[in-house]
Every structure is written in C-alpha cells, then in structure tokens.
Amino acid sequence: MSLSIIIPCRNEEENIKTTIDEISNYLEGKVQNFEINIINDFSTDKTLDKVKYISQEKKFVKVFDNSKIGLGGAINLGIEKSTKKYSVIVMADLSDSPKDILSYYEEITKKNLDAVLGSRFTRISKVEGYPKKKLILNRIFNYIVKILFWHNYNDFTNAFKIYRTNTLKEIKPIVSENFNIFLEIPLKIIIRNYRFSIIPIDWKNRKAGKAKFEVKELGSKYLFTLLYCFFEKILLDKKVNK
C-alpha cells in the first residue's frame, strides 16, 4: 500500500519544517511507501527555499509550484502529482495530528474504502484553541449542510481527510478556488455514493504564522459550492428515480 500526503503551502516558513519532520518521523516504519508533496501556493517568504533544502535530504519530499493561485489550484495540482494509491490532505500549520494520518490510512486500507472523513466534533475528539467566533459559524454552517444533504456527518468543511487517489481524479472537475474546495470534495463523495466511513480526529490551532482563512472573504464562495453540489444532488436523485 502507498500514501501521498498533499500539503498546500503559502507563507509557512515558521511551520513547514516542523510539519514535515513530525509527519515523516511518525509514519516511518508504519507506512512502507509514502511521499510528501508540498504545493507551494505563491509564497513570498522563505517557504519555498526551506522545502527545497529539505527535499535534498528527504527524497520522499517533493515540491511543486502552483500555477493557479489559491487553495483550489493547489489541491488540484496535488491530486495530479500524487503517485500513490491513497492521498491525504494535510494543512501546513500542523493543526492535524500525524497519529490521525495513520488512523485514516489503516481505516481506508483495512475496509477498502474510497474515502475516510474525519470529524473534530465527536465525543472523543480533542479540539484546542479554536477561535470562538469561527467555531460558532462553523457549527451553524455544518448544521445547514447536514440538513440540506440529509446526512449525519458534521464536519464537511475540514480540509483533513483521506481519499483513494483515483476517486479524487474521478470526481473532477473540482471547481472551487479556495477553502470551499474542502466542502466540495466530501459532498461529491457523499452524493455520488462512494464508499466511506467517518472517524473521530483531533485538531489544534496553529502556534506560529498567520491563518489564511478569512470568514468575510469566503462566505460567498462557500455558498456557491453549497448550491453547486446541492443542484448536482437534485439531478442525481432525479436520475435514480426515473
């Protein structure tokens, strides 16, 4: 079995080395064949230089320059460059636990699934330092998505999930251009009836660098993705009921 770790990265010079080191140190000896693909999303600091230096020592680390600015372009490029059977999307700020990467990998390979969707909001999940305003908006929005798509999953918007790489390629085109891509992908997994499971995961707020997520700027983008996927659901339901 094999695993690609896709890390979109913009101006993360304070975090990227620690993120790569912690992930690789934890997975070595546990996952036989993995690669870490850093997608440089037009960084203006020393992120790219640091990753290039790391890749000279760690041959499983590869770096690619995004050609279309934004997380949507970075994730699409990451999917294209993945050479392994499974792909997990991880944020560069190390808010996601390397232990959960392994949990994802064991779950998807053991049960032969197309995806494993993690939730930070279960009784046994641990969430540290989530800004209160963002948390409230997150829970409201995810509840609306649950109602519209009539599903019990409660963490659609989290980036950190694992997929069969071929499944990600099958659901293309992925049209979202920013953080809303992390809503589009799991919704397509659900409405197209791919095989998936839901497991608890942990999350902690970044300790260094600046968060890229801006609620005011992204509201309309999330609404677009929500409507886009909802209309796809309606069309698919009509096909099934014909």
Q: Which domains does the chain have, with CATH numbers?
A: 3-241 (3.90.550.10)
Q: pTM for this structure? A: 0.94
β-strand 127-128 against 203-204: which pairing, if any? Answer: parallel
What pLDDT, on the 0 to 100 scale, is given for residue 209?
Answer: 73
Longest distance between any two alpha carbons in the chain, whole Å: 57
SS3 87: strand
Residue 108: both structure tokens together: 């998807």
Say if residue 173 is preceded by a cis peptide, omega within 30 of 0.
yes
The predicted structure's pLDDT at residue 181: 96
The reported pLDDT for the residue numbered 215 is 58
Per-residue pLDDT, 87: 98
The answer to whether the CB of 231 falls within 8 A of the CB of 238 is: no
The series of mean pLDDT values per 10 residues for the chain, 242 residues long, is 94 96 96 96 96 96 93 96 98 95 98 98 96 93 96 96 98 93 97 98 87 65 94 87 68
Given this model, what pLDDT does residue 241 score? Answer: 73
User: Under 8 Å CB-to-CB from 134, ≥6 apart: which residues?
Assistant: 213, 215
